[in-house]
Structure 1
Amino acid sequence: MNSVPTEEDVLDAFAAEPNHDAATFQRYLKEYPQFAVALVDLSRELSREIAEDETLSEREIAWIEKATREYSEGWASAAFAAPTLEQRRAAAKELRVPRQVITAILECKVAVETISRRTRRRLALQFNATVDGLVQALSGPQLSASRSYKADVSPSTGEKVSLEQVLREAGVSEDVIADLVSEDD
């Protein structure tokens, strides 16, 4: 079953085209006539000449500041570098869990607040990170970089789950679960 692209998908694809010439524009109009008005508006915006001495509007300045702030915040979480395969293996061994648990944690599928402070410290140590850097990185949206599949519809991320649930689903023993989720220091 083929999914029907949304207007946003079509506009994003058009904007990403290397050339916005008449041929490209005509091709999009032919393939997506239902989005003709939006395509015309975007085409005009993309072909608009901007004078170098033109001042930015307050709306444009606010948009740039917001984008810059979001970009900078993304780099703040980059202080937590993606762990190597060896670090992931060592973390799984240290915590006595299957590597799938470490993967779920790193893909932000586990709600970070369900990971005990002691376990966070142990993970940060294994990943050569600060606890704050680790928590910030794991607090982001779910990732699925290690898995990519072709699908007819866009993938959606589910709710984050507790560490205890991930451990139980992975078949981890009760004593290890208690050790990892307990707040005892």
Structure 2
Amino acid sequence: MNRRQQKEKILDEFAAEHSHDQQTLDRYINLYPEARLELLELASEIRLVTDESRFATSPIPDPGGDEAWTVFSSANTESLGRTNPFSQLRGKRFAEISEKLGVSRGFMIGIRDRRVREDSIPERFLSAASQIMEVALEELRQYLREEPGVLATAEFKADKKPMVTEQVTFRQLIDDTEMTEEQRCTALGYLEDVRSD
């Protein structure tokens, strides 16, 4: 693992911490002095985002708001009965799954967010992922067959509202995702038994 990857792993672990207070920051700086500057920058960004007092607003009465929220939140009721096999994979655990599969976290995020057409994902990858994630293969397949969507729990701060991106093939995700040469070779290895993507 090169220096950049080590620092990225340290930053991911810090970001996954429950608390980002001064004590947690000091502990990480003492453990990883080589990542001091990056840890300070990340802690500042996290504090800016979580400083709710800067964004305090008072609610504006909206008689149609509750009705609109009800319609919005029930828009994807079809998948409510199904389990999201990625729901318990956060932070360090998500990184471990990516590492065991030999692919980057960015690649696994594409899989998790269903940016990839399910019919283009090689059986070898699905089998390996279901075993490592400790979920039934059919449960994983079913989840990946669903349409990609914007998470109802996500919060966005952007000039444009979030949009669902068009799905790509497994091969296109490999080509489009930043990863090491070793990770790219591993991802391409999952395609070896596939005649076309």
Which TM-score tier does this pair reach, normalised by the shorter chain?
Answer: 0.5 to 0.7
Task: Give a deviation string over 1:59-114, Cα, whole Å, max 9, x none.
Answer: xxxxxxxx8xx73x423422635123333212211221111111111011111222
Equivalent residue, structure 2, for 1:77: 82
Of 84, 98, 112, 2:118 maps to 112
- Which ranges in structure 1 are unaligned for 5 or more consecutive residues? 1-12, 19-66
Q: Which amino acid aligns with 2:111?
A: I
2:192 matches 1:182: yes
Q: Which amino acid aligns with 1:78?
A: T
Structure-2 separation of matches of 1:147 and 1:95: 26
2:152 matches 1:161: no
- Do the aligned residues in 1 keep the contact of 2:156 with 2:162 (CA within 8 Å)? no
Q: Give the % identical residues.
A: 15
Equivalent residue, structure 1, for 2:18: none
Shift of 1:125: 1.4
Structure-2 separation of matches of 1:182 and 1:77: 31
- Do the aligned residues in 1 keep the contact of 2:150 with 2:164 (CA within 8 Å)? no
- Give the direction of change, closer, same or farther, for the CA distance of 1:179–1:80 in structure 2 (3 Å limit): same
Structure-2 separation of matches of 1:176 and 1:136: 24
Q: Which amino acid aligns with 1:179?
A: G
Shift of 1:160: 0.4
Structure-2 separation of matches of 1:111 and 1:177: 16
For residues 90-129 of structure 1, what are the structure 2 equivalents within 5 Å?
90-129=96-135
Q: Which amino acid aligns with 1:95?
A: L
| TM-score, with length taken from structure 1 | 0.54
Question: Of the two, which has the highest radius of gyration?
Answer: 1
- Do the aligned residues in 2 keep the contact of 1:95 with 1:180 (CA within 8 Å)? no
- Give the direction of change, closer, same or farther, for the CA distance of 1:93–1:17 in structure 2 (3 Å limit): closer
Structure-2 separation of matches of 1:76 and 1:181: 32
- Do the aligned residues in 1 keep the contact of 2:122 with 2:191 (CA within 8 Å)? yes
- Do the aligned residues in 2 keep the contact of 1:104 with 1:110 (CA within 8 Å)? yes
- Give the direction of change, closer, same or farther, for the CA distance of 1:110–1:148 in structure 2 (3 Å limit): farther
For residues 30-69 of structure 1, what are the structure 2 equivalents within 5 Å?
none
Structure-2 separation of matches of 1:139 and 1:14: 37
Of 140, 153, 162, 1:134 maps to 140
Structure-1 separation of matches of 2:192 and 2:125: 9
Please give the root-mean-square deviation of Cα atoms over the aligned residues, in Å. 3.1
Structure-1 separation of matches of 2:123 and 2:103: 17
Shift of 1:148: 4.2
